[in-house]
Structure 1
Amino acid sequence: MKALRRFTVRAHLPDRLAALDQLSTNLRWSWEKPTQDLFASIDPALWGRCGNDPVALLGAVTPARLDELALDEEFLRRLDELAADLNDYLTRPLWYQQQAESGAALPTGIAYFSMEFGVAEVLPNYSGGLGILAGDHLKAASDLGLPLIAVGLYYRSGYFRQSLSAEGWQLENYPSLDPQGLPLRLLTDADGNPALVELALPDSAQLRARIWVAQVGRVPLLLLDSDVPENEHDLRSVTDRLYGGDQEHRIKQEILAGIGGVRAIRAYTSIEGLPAPEVYHMNEGHAGFLGIERIRELMTDSGLDFDTALTVVRSSTVFTTHTPVPAGIDRFPVEMVERYFADAAPSLLPGVPTERVLALGAETDPTKFNMAHMGLRLAQRSNGVSLLHGRVSRAMFNELWPGFDGGEVPIGSITNGVHARSWAAPQWLQLGRELAGSDSFSEPALWLRLQQVDPGHLWSIRSQLRALLVEEVRRRLRQSWLERGASEAELGWISSAFDPDVLTVGFARRVPTYKRLTLMLRDPARLERRLLDPERPIQLIVAGKSHPADDGGKALIQQVVRFADRPEVRHRIAFLPNYDMSMARMLYWGCDVWLNNPLRPLEACGTSGMKSALNGGLNLSVRDGWWDEWYDGENGWEIPSADGVADESRRDDLESNALYSLLEEAVAPKFYERDERGLPPRWLEMVRHTLQTLGPKVLASRMVRDYVDNYYAPAAQSGRRTIAAPEGGNEFDAARELAAYRRRIEEAWPKVKITDVDSTGLPDTPLLGSKLTLTATVQLAGLAADEVTVQAVLGRVDSNDVLQEPVTIEMTYTGSAEGGSQVFSTTTPLPLAGSIGYTVRVLPRHPMLASAAEFGLVTLA
């Protein structure tokens, strides 16, 4: 018989073992090996069967074993030490507190919203890179001491578990997850009642959700769960699975994540006695509705009008975009959004005009509501996730800032990072401790000490990790073949499949088309020759999930599986199903080379290669995402990109040929060239160089510090300025003044004109450094001269007189002209030689703007 529903009963711990409860439910254990070792020592075999999950272990261990441990002095000593260490970690001043003590103006609280979080494999609330990045952000924020609260959804079935059919087709299974069997606690009030958030939906429906709290070190992660008795049956399934369902289902999830997420924060901070966050960070546009909820709060609680409330919200909001293609953005039909946000009672956001909500998500297509556009309009500060992605994002969203060159669009970049203690193998962490004397790996000087390490020791670590990976591949291969219907009698070959001494290449990631899973199969015979080369063979491990609705991606997986199933090569290439954090970790540890061949520039960042680099792996990649930024010629290999070739098939041919050639002529020779000690000297120099140069750069701690310095602190200061009462004034006066300025500017701007530009001072034959005087006459349509910036723009020009890499020079107001026009002038030495051109433009000017381009308004001569 099959159970109707499952639930978990946790064991009652003896008083002396009570500290195991906090150690098991604070997810710091997932990056703290001594704590993992303590739980493993309770029952090593059971630990493995429970998937290295402390909560599951404590639910399965026998009471007799717990009573035995309560009398085990050595176990109790370790338990007390680890409990004290966790308490010290949670309470002592860390980097953030030290910055605050030194006078830095930091936010008292930060709210971080994401639709997925990959913190640990025991909490499968992630599908791929976005979630893993969010999980690493929380861990690094905890390690640095940030007062951060994270918000997402609790998916009853998480993302799917992947398996393969006998024919190699991806199959999906959605396991039912019991929150009581996970490292979660239910948020309750002082009387023990579950805290609920409530949202009004169309047709008088009410969506309610309870709040599960996952403790990620110092950081609480609030996960909203709609599967509660208070909901109608169809609404209980709103949080059923990640990225499932139709658009109607998706908009309910995003409304719950954004609006419900803000309300969950309010409930959490009230119950815990914490200050409200000052800064709100949207990790992608999925949670963009949080900004509208904050506007509603300010209108309702503080009596602000919409424009003033929007000004406050924008000043304290950060938006990070992760997609490099418009197709990756969530877009809803306008009529669908209008139905959810209708003014008529009962309203989701009473008092908030529907047309203002719709305007926030407006795009070129008037029938679509664009979540990324809303995120950009609600945030004063926005960024991409690598330098190249920042450039791509500025071009992709240029339409929101018409009249500005792509380089001027106010979207910056912070390159992603990875959490070292989650992804680096224990052997590398131990070496780091020996070199540093601590667990702090952020200082470049530490990584330079690798120069002192004997090459033999580096090779020993790499060889150990490759051997561990081979064992894991054989185990997973056997499991996969059995699931596909093979018998044990057919699988004798697996015991000798793969070789711990062979150059091992990994390719593991989601399987959208642009990542080109099958580029390696472009010339199957050539790949087979590489795999079976008698002197310099390679072995290739492939993994990744295709979206359940993407049959094209599933077909790519099947193509790889069918090639790898062939008896001639199956001992050298494998597709491993059910790619997750535990598999990824083994791949990063053991692969010598990390392969990445996306269509440039469609990889926003691609952090998997960073994790490989942390383990001494060498990247073999197209120059995209982070690799475009940090490839230096010695830390791996660049696959030349043919991104200027319009024919996609020819482009794939060119890039696959380059890939094969690199493997044959550069990668394999360096790996197999050995000295008298049996070591590959040139390979190990590349490994050492990779660790030294990339180690300090790829860290999530570096990334989070960048967010604090460049986004969180400035956003907090902007937010405070909009709220603070000036002397003799009232709260929000600054916000009211800025909102009024914006209204005035936008009304006047169509009538702002540059009526005349004169140039004087140049000799007949200008030389570099010759002085040019420009004078512009401007009609300001009633605006004051100090409410605008007038700029001269100089630069080289192409054959179409388009300015290239222009230099801007602010012009000085010199007085009024006839007819009420205003005159601005500047004298500047010519900064460049060659064919030079200039123009003049007018921009809004206000001390509370983060950028002169912020409003998207510009008048050109």
Structure 2
Amino acid sequence: MIISITPEIALDENTPFAGGLGVLAADKFYTCARNSIDYVVITPFYNSGYIKYDFVNDKVLVLPDQFPQDFLVKLKEVGREQIYLRKEKVEISFYEYAINNAKVIFVKVLKPAWASRLFNRLYEHLDQSFSFYKYLLFAKAALAYIEKYIGFEKVEYIDLEEAYTAFIPLLLVSKNLKLNCRFVIHTPGPWGHPRFDKNLFAEEFGYNFIEDNIYLTNIASSLAQEIITVSKKHFEISKKMFPHHIYKLKYVTNGVDIKRWMDEELLEIYLNDELTINKLREIKEKNKSILYDFLKQFKEINPNSMFVAWNRRTVAYKRPDFIIKFIKENEENVTFILAGKTDPMDEVGLEFMEEMRRLSNTRNNVIYIWNYNISVAKLIFKGVDLILFTPFSGWEACGTSIMKAGINGIPALSSKDGSAIELIQDNYNGWLFGKDLNELVLFNSEKGYKISEEDYKEFSEKFKNIISLWCNNREKYLEICLNAIKTFLPFASSNRMLSQYYPNYKEKFIAEIIKLFKEK
């Protein structure tokens, strides 16, 4: 039995999620489900989901993003338990969503009200005590489910997705249990490595740590059997962040669920060795037409223009200012599709959202989709002509958007970060720009601003050349699109990723896409 403990999961039913971690969790789930792997994902049920946005006079308005009603009716309550938190009894229930042997277990807090409030919204942070008990409640609930409904003796792997899950191995110590816990780090950013006052640990566990502030990352790293980073670049950065755990560190570059993200017709043609530039052109025109029909609800655009997307969270390290600045400086025959949002506590990210909204309102060739979801993502990753991937080098742990696009014959213009370095060959199956930093430079420091200034010059120049290539030499452009498919597969598949995560199941994962692994 494989168990994944994650703070979020982005299922195809448009369940609330914040970003790439939730999408990746769902990709793993769908791949395991198709291969009849005994796989359980445990995640909180957030009463108010994540967040949706609207705009009033170009100012952001925050709204709750609750679970869709048509999804809730598919959930089955499979049990109720009691745990203790702050020396009080807390009642929880477990709701199951299953496909074949794979399950997602949503933990819902019933009472008391203060405990239910902890699971109000994904990534909500009120104060240190709130987050401490939120993560501890999640860990206790997850272990209660494993003990009662699976059995510790049946567990082969417990994957701890991010430091929010670090209380699980600490609780296992108190139970005198040692399971095969692997800690998966998904970001080098400080937001992924919370710390808490040692007095909170003393009150709840009776532990007296030497340090005044305890990083959950260090707890998870110390007690896990392995520490998994999610790309080769992320591994190199992590070795400098966690040299005291270097012998546990390894990397498994993320992948995407091919059957979830790749155009069905394109996949079939590829598997049958029938993929040509002409057939690729036909499929791309079909998917662009479908995307155009969707975009018409926002405004009338030129269907014959180049469609370019910047679609991700509008956080500073992903540098949304690059596309904003380019749009303002250039008048190109390009339709810009901007999509994504940020956390309501991220003031800089909210300003980027408002700027994108203003561009959409004032320019005929810009569309901004702020309530970005899985359904919209699938249309974009199949229907645009180019994806922009612009994170500050060193800060994007992996980045799977270029994979979702590349397997559909959509090349990326990418900074040298995350998985892009492993996948993109400049001017052959996509384009690279900027510095390749081997240390974590603060993107909002004086040095960081200077690097971004230099990076933008190269980004802008390459972007203009790509637009010119698309306009003037479509055959060459399609050749690069074809190269993207041929070089991204099979490496970009979640089957490859999971075969590295779980060697005992390697044959099952490889068997499903064996044709992708044959010599071409």
Alpha carbons 2:170, 2:219 under 8 Å: kept: no
Alignment of 1:612-651 (within 5 A): 612-633=405-426, 634-641=428-435, 647-651=447-451
Higher relative contact order (CA 8 A, sep 6+): 2
> Which structure 2 residue ranges, 5 or more long, are not aligned?
508-520
Q: CA deviation at 1:199?
A: 2.1
Alpha carbons 1:420, 1:699 under 8 Å: kept: yes
1:53-86 Cα distance to aligned partner (Å, 9 max, x none): xxxxxxxxxxxxxxxxxxxxxxxxxxxxxxxxxx
Counterpart check, 1:132 vs 2:23: yes
Counterpart check, 1:206 vs 2:89: yes
Q: Residue 826 of structure 1 aligns with which residue?
A: none
Q: CA deviation at 1:130?
A: 0.6
Q: CA deviation at 1:654?
A: 1.9
Q: Residue 267 of structure 2 aligns with which residue?
A: 429
Alpha carbons 2:387, 2:402 under 8 Å: kept: yes
Q: CA deviation at 1:171?
A: 2.9
Q: Residue 324 of structure 1 aligns with which residue?
A: 188
Counterpart check, 1:250 vs 2:131: yes
Q: CA deviation at 1:276?
A: 2.4
Q: Residue 74 of structure 2 aligns with which residue?
A: 183
CA pair 464-330 structure 1, distance change in 2 beyond 3 A:
same
Distance 1:700 1:712 in 2: 12
Partner amino acid, structure 1, of 2:185: T
Q: Residue 142 of structure 1 aligns with which residue?
A: 33
Alignment of 1:240-389 (within 5 A): 240-246=120-126, 247-269=128-150, 276-298=154-176, 309=177, 312-313=178-179, 316-342=180-206, 354-355=207-208, 358=209, 366-389=211-234
Partner amino acid, structure 2, of 1:609: I
Partner amino acid, structure 2, of 1:116: E
Distance 2:235 2:184 in 1: 10
Q: CA deviation at 1:606?
A: 0.6
CA pair 589-178 structure 1, distance change in 2 beyond 3 A:
closer
Counterpart pick for 2:310 among 503, 507, 523: 507
1:459-493 Cα distance to aligned partner (Å, 9 max, x none): 11111111211221222x2xxxxxxxxxxxxxxxx
Alignment of 1:704-715 (within 5 A): 704-709=498-503
Alpha carbons 1:165, 1:171 under 8 Å: kept: no
Distance 1:170 1:598 in 2: 26
CA pair 711-390 structure 1, distance change in 2 beyond 3 A:
farther
Partner amino acid, structure 1, of 2:348: G
Secondary structure of 1:427 counterpart = helix
Q: CA deviation at 1:504?
A: 1.0
Alpha carbons 1:279, 1:712 under 8 Å: kept: no
Count of aligned positions: 499
Spell out structure 1 runs of 4+ moving beyond 6 A. 710-713
Counterpart pick for 1:152 among 43, 46, 56: 43
The two structures have a TM-score, normalised by structure 1, of: 0.55
Q: CA deviation at 1:545?
A: 1.1
Distance 1:426 1:638 in 2: 28
Counterpart pick for 2:288 among 450, 466, 469: 466
Q: Residue 165 of structure 1 aligns with which residue?
A: 56
Q: Residue 725 of structure 1 aligns with which residue?
A: none
Q: CA deviation at 1:523?
A: 5.3
Alignment of 1:662-681 (within 5 A): 662-665=462-465, 667-674=466-473, 680-681=474-475
Counterpart pick for 1:657 among 453, 457, 461: 457
Distance 1:266 1:701 in 2: 29
Alpha carbons 1:642, 1:651 under 8 Å: kept: no
Secondary structure of 2:421 counterpart = helix
Counterpart check, 1:219 vs 2:57: no
Partner amino acid, structure 2, of 1:196: R
Distance 1:509 1:139 in 2: 22
Distance 2:353 2:279 in 1: 37
Secondary structure of 2:138 counterpart = helix
CA pair 221-335 structure 1, distance change in 2 beyond 3 A:
same
Counterpart check, 1:687 vs 2:481: yes
Secondary structure of 2:169 counterpart = helix
Partner amino acid, structure 1, of 2:378: R
Secondary structure of 2:50 counterpart = coil
Q: CA deviation at 1:500?
A: 2.3
Distance 2:58 2:103 in 1: 44
Distance 1:692 1:205 in 2: 57
Q: CA deviation at 1:162?
A: 2.2
CA pair 599-370 structure 1, distance change in 2 beyond 3 A:
same
Partner amino acid, structure 2, of 1:545: K
Q: CA deviation at 1:131?
A: 0.7
> Which structure 1 residue ranges, 5 or more long, are not aligned?
1-108, 188-194, 299-308, 343-353, 360-365, 402-407, 437-448, 478-493, 531-536, 675-679, 714-861
Alpha carbons 2:318, 2:390 under 8 Å: kept: yes
Alpha carbons 1:381, 1:711 under 8 Å: kept: no
Alignment of 1:563-602 (within 5 A): 563-566=359-362, 569=363, 571-602=364-395
Counterpart check, 1:552 vs 2:348: yes
Distance 1:115 1:560 in 2: 28
Alignment of 1:428-447 (within 5 A): 428-432=266-270, 435-436=271-272
Alpha carbons 1:385, 1:416 under 8 Å: kept: yes
Distance 1:155 1:429 in 2: 36
Q: Which has the larger radius of gyration?
A: 1
The two structures have a TM-score, normalised by structure 2, of: 0.90
Partner amino acid, structure 1, of 2:217: A
Q: CA deviation at 1:557?
A: 1.3
Distance 1:180 1:651 in 2: 45
Secondary structure of 1:374 counterpart = helix
Alpha carbons 2:498, 2:506 under 8 Å: kept: no
Counterpart check, 1:112 vs 2:4: yes
Distance 1:471 1:521 in 2: 25
CA pair 176-150 structure 1, distance change in 2 beyond 3 A:
closer
Alpha carbons 2:14, 2:374 under 8 Å: kept: no
Alpha carbons 1:186, 1:211 under 8 Å: kept: yes
Distance 2:139 2:113 in 1: 22
Q: CA deviation at 1:290?
A: 1.4
CA pair 642-267 structure 1, distance change in 2 beyond 3 A:
closer
Q: Residue 76 of structure 1 aligns with which residue?
A: none
Q: CA deviation at 1:542?
A: 0.6
Secondary structure of 2:147 counterpart = helix
Distance 1:177 1:206 in 2: 30
Alpha carbons 1:157, 1:177 under 8 Å: kept: no
Distance 1:460 1:256 in 2: 52
Q: CA deviation at 1:691?
A: 0.5
CA pair 461-625 structure 1, distance change in 2 beyond 3 A:
same
Q: CA deviation at 1:235?
A: 2.0
CA pair 130-292 structure 1, distance change in 2 beyond 3 A:
same
Distance 1:381 1:179 in 2: 39
Counterpart pick for 1:396 among 241, 247, 268: 241
Superposed CA RMSD in Å reads 2.4
Q: CA deviation at 1:179?
A: 9.1
CA pair 602-371 structure 1, distance change in 2 beyond 3 A:
same
Alpha carbons 1:139, 1:217 under 8 Å: kept: no
Distance 1:158 1:684 in 2: 41
Alpha carbons 1:110, 1:278 under 8 Å: kept: yes
Alpha carbons 1:546, 1:554 under 8 Å: kept: yes
CA pair 621-291 structure 1, distance change in 2 beyond 3 A:
same
- Higher mean alpha-carbon deviation, 156-165 vs 133-142, is at 156-165
Partner amino acid, structure 2, of 1:385: V
Distance 2:121 2:328 in 1: 41
Distance 2:251 2:405 in 1: 23
Distance 2:37 2:161 in 1: 17
Q: CA deviation at 1:279?
A: 2.0
Alpha carbons 2:307, 2:335 under 8 Å: kept: yes
